[in-house]
Amino acid sequence: MHFDLEATDGHARAGTLTTAHSTIQTPVFMPVGTVGSVKSLDAHDMTDILDAKIILGNTYHLYLRPGDEVVHTMGGLHGFTQYDRSFLTDSGGFQAFSLSDISKADKDGITFKSHIDGSTHYFTPEKVLDIQGNLGSDIMMILDDLVALPATKERIALSIERTTQWAKRSILYHRANQAQGKAQEQNIFAIIQGGTDPEFRRISATQLCEMDFDGFAIGGLSVGEPNQAMYDTVELTTPLMPTHKPRYLMGVGTPEDLVENVKRGVDMFDCVMPTRNARNGTLFTSFGKLNIKAARFQTDELPIDPACDCFTCKRYSRSYLSHLYRARELTFFRLASLHNLHYYLGLMKQMRQAILVGKFEGFYREFYAKRA
Amino acid sequence: MHFDLEATDGHARAGTLTTAHSTIQTPVFMPVGTVGSVKSLDAHDMTDILDAKIILGNTYHLYLRPGDEVVHTMGGLHGFTQYDRSFLTDSGGFQAFSLSDISKADKDGITFKSHIDGSTHYFTPEKVLDIQGNLGSDIMMILDDLVALPATKERIALSIERTTQWAKRSILYHRANQAQGKAQEQNIFAIIQGGTDPEFRRISATQLCEMDFDGFAIGGLSVGEPNQAMYDTVELTTPLMPTHKPRYLMGVGTPEDLVENVKRGVDMFDCVMPTRNARNGTLFTSFGKLNIKAARFQTDELPIDPACDCFTCKRYSRSYLSHLYRARELTFFRLASLHNLHYYLGLMKQMRQAILVGKFEGFYREFYAKRA
């Protein structure tokens, strides 16, 4: 993997990330393909219609169903899903923590019960890399120790310490695998934790960034804290991260969140928001959100966003989409997801272009002016 | 509308039906677009991926939601859905009869309650043509008087008589509209009733076929009777129908039903089976049905049908599709529907080709040999 930083404008960065499967221009938004499919879309939609260069797969989900061994047998995520560009897979820790009724961390890993059949499983730093090895993702995330907030200072301190210990085990294990000729095309990112506490973030970032990871993520945000707390935390963390490695803000966010965090030096994002909102009838536009359920759209001949050139806006009226939504027709979910993801991917392209020409501040003002 | 009969082979027929919106080669299968969308697919799927030349819309559903006036305002079904080829719409009578808790026929029409909100509505022969006028379909079906079987001979006799009376009113009304410059591009088909009783079928066919309809349908079959009874009824009815007008067997059927009824001289079919079965994980192939739920497909690298060149079979393995089905991923429903409709449309093409070269019997034997 190579990361070339092409331009900076203030703290905002434009770069190019090259994996064994695709060339990714940053800042980039990664659509979430939970179980090996971006919800309601197929690989052809992701490449030929949306031209997404990288998507995210959820290790927890794929491990439980169909099982990482099945995915491995079928040629890894690339062979299995036929999406031939890049995959980033998370560690599975977040879902083990949030979807399982019972999850418990100890010094070696996380015990959890499957949300599908209640069976018990144990994720260790090494185990989640083995799983991601089977999945064959281009970027693997390491296991981190998450804590439910609010938590005591002691518990947060323990989380930071464990996250660092697990990071050491992860990189040792990964480099040893590579020395044996395995996981050659796979890259490994660490995850900075510490909630919104500046001191914990500083400790976590400093400890992790000393290690030779291929990139670094900021985790544990967008979990209910005020937006400004997220922005402030990112702002204090990015300067602690290496300049010449990609920076990934996990699970973020709204269009405003993307703009604010690109401004603060983040290169990569993922979020279920564009696809989840699509399924709820909430559509993103250059002038803000639009709820297709509103009665006024029933005879509205305009596309979702007259300024949008996506697959859906080139073809269908708000009237037709409003009808499909009311009738719960499955094709609505695809058409709305195509629109929302096109909006997210387009927003990233606009920011990149502005950074490359040194006009990010102008872009930033215009972005908010259009939604006023 | 023009219908050119190009070739016959035994009773099987190949023709070309030309409407204001498309040229349709027969025999033809019409995918069902219930509420103005073939379930899980959009207009682009129907044209650019499946190349379907005609689809069916359900008058009952569209009348209730979004309402035929809304569809009219948005440019009729062609403008509203952006499917720019031909639409056939049914009369709404069948759904008023089957979906409504309360439906009641009198000499002038059918009273029913909406399955959506319980509101009361009244369909007359003229009213359903007005609705279909608003929908702007290329082929309109007239209202017929359906009876729940088993029924007394007296009730069936009344149904036949009413169907003929309503047919007279329908054609008078339609031709009067056309004389006033309305519905110029719309065509009108009558529906032969009579259950599986040869005498009732003969009476109904004779009475209706004396009138100047643009085409004729055989209704009231595929409602639970034995297959052979359907085939026998079609076999005695088609010789009573005009040679130079299209013959449409409503709501039929399985691949075997299509083959058997093309053999008996039917030109047009519609059925929810390919899309409904797709949603249940049942896939059609040249060697019979395949249930993607079966455990053996979980690591099967083959496409659904190695002999199939559809969008789905060119890309995805049974393994991946089996996973998507188990995970209830929405994209499965689209991929499976694309496959099943491709199979149905392809089967019709194969039959047409065989008829054109006088080799329908050979096709027929091979069709069954492959499934043996």
Q: What percent of chain B has pLDDT over 90?
A: 93
Q: Which two tokens stand for residue A90?
A: 């998370």
Q: Tell me which chain A residues have a C-beta less than 8 angstroms from the C-beta of B135.
A: none
Q: Fill in the amino acid letter for B313.
A: C
Give dist(CA B146, CA B221) in Å, integer: 11
With bands split at pLDDT 50, 70 and 90, how would you rate the model's confidence at B205?
A: very high
Residue B296 class from Cβ within 10 Å (0-12 exposed, 13-18 middle, 19+ buried)?
exposed
Q: Which amino acid is at B311?
A: F
At B110 the pLDDT is 95
Contacts of A331 in chain B (CB under 8 A): 37, 39-42, 45, 334
B149, pLDDT greater than 80: no
Asked whether A318 and A304 are in contact (CB, 8 A), the reply is yes
User: For the segment B300-316, what is each residue's pLDDT rounded down to a tens digit?
Assistant: 999 999 999 999 999 99
Query: How many residues does the structure list for chain A?
Result: 372
Q: Suggest the residue from B34, B64, B319 to mutate for an interface test with chain A (most A CBs closer than 10 A).
A: B319
Element (H, E) at B163: helix B153-179
Query: In the predicted model, is pLDDT for residue B148 greater than 80?
Result: no
DSSP-assigned letters across all residues of A164-224 = HHHHHHHHHHHHHHHHTT-STT-EEEEEE--TT-HHHHHHHHHHHHTS--SEEEE-S-SSS
| Residues of chain A above pLDDT 90, percent | 93
Angle, CA B163 vertex, CA B162 and CA B166 arms, to 5°:
80
pLDDT of residue B150: 78
Whole-angstrom distance, CA of residue B218 vs CA of residue B231:
12
- The answer to whether B35 contacts A334, with C-beta atoms less than 8 Å apart, is no
- DSSP letter assigned to residue A343: H
The per-residue pLDDT of chain A, averaged, comes to: 96
B37 contacts A331? CB cut-off 8 A: yes
Angle, in degrees to the nearest 10, between helices A255-263 and A330-356: 20
Candidate from B44, B61, B331 with C-beta closest to A37: B331
In chain B, residues with a C-beta closer than 8 Å to the C-beta of A36 are: 320, 323-324
Helices B255-263, B360-371: axis angle to 10 degrees equals 160
Beta-carbon separation of A299 and B70 below 8 A? yes
pLDDT in tens, B111-120: 999 999 999 9
**Residue B149 vs residue A194, higher pLDDT:** A194
Encode pLDDT of A12-68 as tens digits: 999 999 999 999 999 999 999 999 999 999 999 999 999 999 999 999 999 999 999
Question: In chain B, whose CA is at the least distance from the CA of A84?
Answer: B315
User: Of chain A residues 20-49, which have a CB less than 8 A from chain B?
Assistant: 35-37, 39-45
Q: Give the model's confidence band at A202: pLDDT under 50 very low, under 70 low, under 90 confident, else very high.
A: very high
Question: Is B271 annotated in some ligand binding site?
Answer: no
Rounded mean pLDDT, B190-207: 96
pLDDT tens, A163-184? 999 999 999 999 999 999 999 9
- Give the mutation candidate from B74, B84, B315 for the A interface (greatest A CB count, under 10 A): B74
How far apart CA B343 and CA A293 sit, in angstroms, is 36
Q: How far is A359 from chain B (nearest CA, A)?
A: 38
Residue B100 pLDDT > 80: no
Q: What is the per-residue pLDDT for B198?
A: 96
User: How distant, in Å, are the alpha carbons of A39, A280, B251, B276, B294 from that of B328?
Assistant: 10, 17, 28, 15, 15
What ipTM was assigned to the predicted interfaces of this complex? 0.97
- Give the tokens for residue A256: 């405003």
Is B215 known as a binding-site position?
A: no
The confidence score (pLDDT) of residue B248 equals 98
Tell me the CA end-to-end span of chain B in Å, nearest whole number. 41
Measure Cα distances from B325 to A43, B211, B318, B335 in Å.
Answer: 16, 49, 10, 10
**A331/B contact by beta carbon, under 8 A:** yes
pTM: 0.97
